[in-house]
Amino acid sequence: MIRISFIAWGVMLLVWCAMRYPAMRRARRQKTRVDNRTTLDISLLTLCVFGLVVMPIAWRLDLVPDFADRTQSIGILLAGVVTGVVFLWLFRRSHKDLGRNWSVTLEVREGHQLVTGGVYAYVRHPMYASFLLWGLAQAFLIPNWIAGLAGLAAVVALYAVRQSREEAMMRQTFGAEYDAYCARTKRLVPGVF
């Protein structure tokens, strides 16, 4: 059961990499107009890689203390797979909807357009919502409290710092158009918060 859980986690990571890679290549060619990258932002992204990728692998290699191990059940494994599928679907949708306006850090591109359609018609941060689901899927699939929750903790930290900075940057760029968009959307869960 533990082995299957880890394989499911690995497949989820590989599918995510295959989806992200073309966007990373395309983004490198896009010119930047406003660059709000900070050391804090880059550090938090690094923390996410550590929490979401390095920690589960370290756990599998027995480098994480086993006092934090928990038992794994078929129910929790299935919850992990379902959460992982929803994560990948939402990630793909939001990437497609953002298109050329996407960037890994906080930036405004040359010719940047405010996206308010697709999944962005329902929430302002669907991609961050998908990353939170990734963290949750990892917590279900990696049966160790430390390695399992490391990804979710890192994503929560990134989101907490980014959300207000990103919204301030978008407001500065798009003004009243962004205010109107905020007035009709929630941040992460449609109609809730």
Name the residue number minimizing CB distance to ligand SAH: 127
Contact between residue 139 and residue 152 where contact means Cβ atoms under 8 Å apart: yes
Binder to ligand SAH among 72, 83, 94, 138 (CB under 6 A)? 94
Binder to ligand SAH among 103, 140, 148, 150 (CB under 6 A)? 103
CB of 141 to ligand SAH, least distance (A): 23
Cα 25 to Cα 19, 29, 54, 103, 113: the distances in Å are: 11, 7, 23, 11, 20
Cα 154 to Cα 34, 43, 50, 160: the distances in Å are: 26, 10, 8, 10
Binder to ligand SAH among 12, 64, 81, 108 (CB under 6 A)? 108
Q: Which is nearer to ligand SAH, 105 or 145 (CB)?
A: 105
CB of 133 to ligand SAH, least distance (A): 12
Contact between residue 155 and residue 135 where contact means Cβ atoms under 8 Å apart: yes
Binder to ligand SAH among 6, 9, 120, 134 (CB under 6 A)? 120
Q: Is 158 an interacting residue with respect to ligand SAH (CB under 6 A)? A: no
In DSSP notation, 99-113 reads GGG--SSSEEETT--
Q: Which is nearer to ligand SAH, 45 or 146 (CB)?
A: 45
Cα 77 to Cα 18, 80, 116, 117: the distances in Å are: 23, 5, 35, 34
Q: CA 187, CA 193: separation in Å to the nearest integer?
A: 6
In the stretch 26-65, what mask flags binding to ligand SAH with x, by CB under 6 A?
A: ----------------------------------------
Q: Is 135 an interacting residue with respect to ligand SAH (CB under 6 A)? A: no
Angle among Cα 84, 88, 89 to the nearest 5 degrees reads: 115
The footprint of ligand SAH (CB under 6 A) covers 94, 98, 101-103, 106-108, 114-115, 120, 125-128, 166, 170
